């Protein structure tokens, strides 16, 4: 897969232009430019994270997908002439990883020489570089990894956690665990996982449902609710596997469990079906993780499809696009529960002014040297600048392709 594997991707922190940041600021003013720093180098890496067990949600039990055995990441590491650095990532499940990596390689050269502070301008430039393959999906997800690295770089330059750079509403976000409640996991183990999550300071538990035999769903939700008691937040996620009548019927049955939300009851693009459910059920409706652009989310918002929006920054083009969508969601008084990638979404959930949740998955833990703190039902921002993560030796060992783009 790799066209240019480099032996050593260790980072450079020393300014390479010979200018300190204050010197550069003085020179920039003298030259008439606002800032002088420029993007000098981009390293793209494809990293395959193996999962401990094959993962099954309802899409597997209905025969639409095979159990998931790995997640493929596109990591982007940026370096500037002044020695500032940023790291970002996108990901794909089952298919699409090599396509994201390939698209990033094609568009990355347009970054060289750009001022890394000009994130909006760069996002547009990257979209135009690959305009014929569209403004959603794989192309946008390749851009997302670059965009996230630019935001990480900007926050590191300011020596601030990303949430603080953008403007935080809080320093911690209520969190719930997903990785313990998949459908391949026997119910006894699901309950053990839930107990472990609560003992680790995680506040809520999400359970996968949507099996062809709906009675099994009810039995599992009943068992977990009995174990948790009435006060622990509990959610269910059908991963798009119900049709409209089934979703309506299951939603009515599930009202008795006092769920925080029912997630993806219908096809991700069925805005009207979700709107009907949201109107008819007391339980909140949550969806949005599968959508691949702000425009696709806008359709859900305008149709009144959701109470809780679940965007995924790597899937919709990065932090720049996520912030635009968050503005729309706030304007419509929606709650926000970003999907997956808590390492990015903790910051974005901390910024969102209204009710918000962050999804706890332990899958990505081996990729990074740092780990997030959960306590009292909440996930806490660290004081580390940027996203607050560095790639682990294990992530380097799982790297299957690396390309570096320079001037
Ligand atoms: Mg989900």
Measure 383 CA to ligand 1 centroid, in angstroms: 29
SS3 label, residue 129: helix
Residue ranges of domains in the chain:
21-159+393-406, 163-380
Is 41 annotated for ligand binding? Answer: no
pLDDT mean over 365-387: 97
Measure 10 CA to ligand 1 centroid, in angstroms: 35
* Predicted model pTM: 0.93
How much is the pLDDT for 33?
78
Structure tokens at 273: 């079906």
Dump pLDDT digits (tens) for 207-229: 999 999 999 999 999 999 999 99
Structure tokens at 134: 């569209």
Q: What is the DSSP letter of 69?
A: E
Between CA 211 and CA 312 the distance in angstroms is: 25
Is 299 annotated for ligand binding? Answer: no
Measure 263 CA to ligand 1 centroid, in angstroms: 6
Dump pLDDT digits (tens) for 3-50: 444 433 333 344 445 566 667 677 776 777 777 899 999 999 999 999
Measure 237 CA to ligand 1 centroid, in angstroms: 6
- Percentage, residues of the chain above pLDDT 90: 88
How much is the pLDDT for 316?
97
Is 118 annotated for ligand binding? Answer: no
Dump pLDDT digits (tens) for 242-296: 999 999 999 999 999 999 999 999 999 999 999 999 999 999 999 999 999 999 9
Fold of 21-159+393-406: Enolase-like; domain 1 (3.30.390)
Measure 27 CA to ligand 1 centroid, in angstroms: 50
Is 393 annotated for ligand binding? Answer: no
What are the phi and psi torsion angles at 176 (to 5°)? -135, 155
Measure 339 CA to ligand 1 centroid, in angstroms: 7
Residue 70: is its pLDDT beyond 70?
A: yes
Is 289 annotated for ligand binding? Answer: yes
How much is the pLDDT for 18?
53
63-74 burial string, b = 16+ CB within 10 Å, else e? eebebbebbbbb
How much is the pLDDT for 21?
63
How much is the pLDDT for 30?
73
How much is the pLDDT for 258?
97
Is 59 annotated for ligand binding? Answer: yes
For all residues of the chain together, what is the average pLDDT? Answer: 93
pLDDT mean over 380-394: 98
pLDDT mean over 137-159: 97
pLDDT mean over 65-86: 96
How much is the pLDDT for 237?
97
Measure 236 CA to ligand 1 centroid, in angstroms: 9
How much is the pLDDT for 27?
76
How much is the pLDDT for 272?
98
Give the list of residues 6+ apart from residue 184 with CB closer than 8 angstroms, or none: 53, 54, 55, 56, 60, 67
DSSP assignment string, 153-179 = HHHHHTTSBHHHHH--S-SEEEEEE-T
Q: Catalytic amino acids? A: 208, 339
More confident residue, 356 or 61: 356
- Percentage, residues of the chain above pLDDT 70: 94
Q: What is the DSSP letter of 40?
A: E
Give the list of residues 6+ apart from residue 138 with CB closer than 8 angstroms, or none: 92, 96, 99, 100, 103
Q: Could you give the dihedral angle defined by the CA atoms of residues 90, 91, 95 and 96, in that order, rounded to the nearest 10 degrees?
A: 10
Is 272 annotated for ligand binding? Answer: no
Measure 234 CA to ligand 1 centroid, in angstroms: 14
Fold of 163-380: TIM Barrel (3.20.20)
Residue 309: is its pLDDT beyond 70?
A: yes
């Amino acid at each position: 897969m790799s066209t240019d594997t480099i032996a050593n991707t260790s980072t450079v922190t020393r300014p390479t232009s010979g200018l300190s940041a204050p010197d550069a600021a003085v020179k920039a003013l003298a030259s008439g430019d606002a800032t002088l720093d420029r993007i000098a180098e981009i390293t793209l890496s494809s990293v395959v994270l193996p999962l401990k067990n094959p993962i099954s949600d309802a899409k597997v039990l209905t025969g639409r997908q095979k159990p998931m055995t790995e997640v493929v990441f596109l990591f982007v590491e940026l370096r500037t002439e002044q020695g500032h650095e940023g790291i970002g990532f996108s990901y794909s499940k089952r298919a699409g990883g090599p396509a994201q990596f390939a698209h990033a390689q094609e568009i990355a050269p347009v970054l060289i020489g750009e001022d890394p502070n000009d994130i909006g301008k760069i996002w547009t430039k990257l979209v135009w570089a690959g305009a014929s393959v569209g403004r959603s999906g794989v192309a946008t997800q390749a851009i997302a990894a670059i965009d996230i690295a630019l935001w990480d770089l900007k926050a590191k330059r300011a020596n601030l956690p990303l949430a603080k750079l953008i403007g935080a509403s809080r320093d911690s976000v209520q969190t719930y665990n997903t990785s313990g409640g998949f459908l391949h996991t026997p119910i006894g183990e699901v309950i053990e996982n839930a107990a472990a999550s609560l003992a680790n300071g995680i506040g809520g538990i999400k359970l996968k449902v949507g099996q062809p035999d709906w009675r099994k769903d009810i039995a599992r939700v009943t068992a977990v609710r009995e174990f948790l008691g009435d006060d622990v937040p509990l959610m269910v996620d059908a991963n798009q596997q119900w049709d409209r009548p089934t979703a309506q019927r299951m939603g009515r049955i599930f009202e008795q469990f006092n769920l925080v939300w029912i997630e993806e009851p219908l096809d991700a693009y069925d805005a009207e079906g979700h709107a009907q459910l949201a109107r008819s059920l007391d339980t909140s409706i949550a969806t949005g993780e599968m959508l691949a652009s702000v425009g696709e989310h806008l359709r859900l918002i305008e149709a009144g499809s959701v109470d809780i929006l679940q965007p995924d920054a790597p899937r919709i083009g990065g932090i720049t696009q996520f912030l635009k969508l968050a503005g729309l969601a706030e304007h419509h008084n929606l709650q926000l529960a970003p999907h997956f990638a808590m390492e990015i979404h903790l910051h974005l959930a901390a910024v969102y002014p209204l009710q918000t949740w962050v999804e706890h998955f332990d899958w990505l833990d081996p990729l990074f040297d740092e780990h997030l703190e959960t306590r009292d039902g909440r996930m806490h921002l660290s004081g580390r600048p940027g996203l607050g993560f560095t790639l682990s030796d294990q992530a380097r060992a799982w790297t299957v392709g690396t390309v570096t783009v320079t001037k």
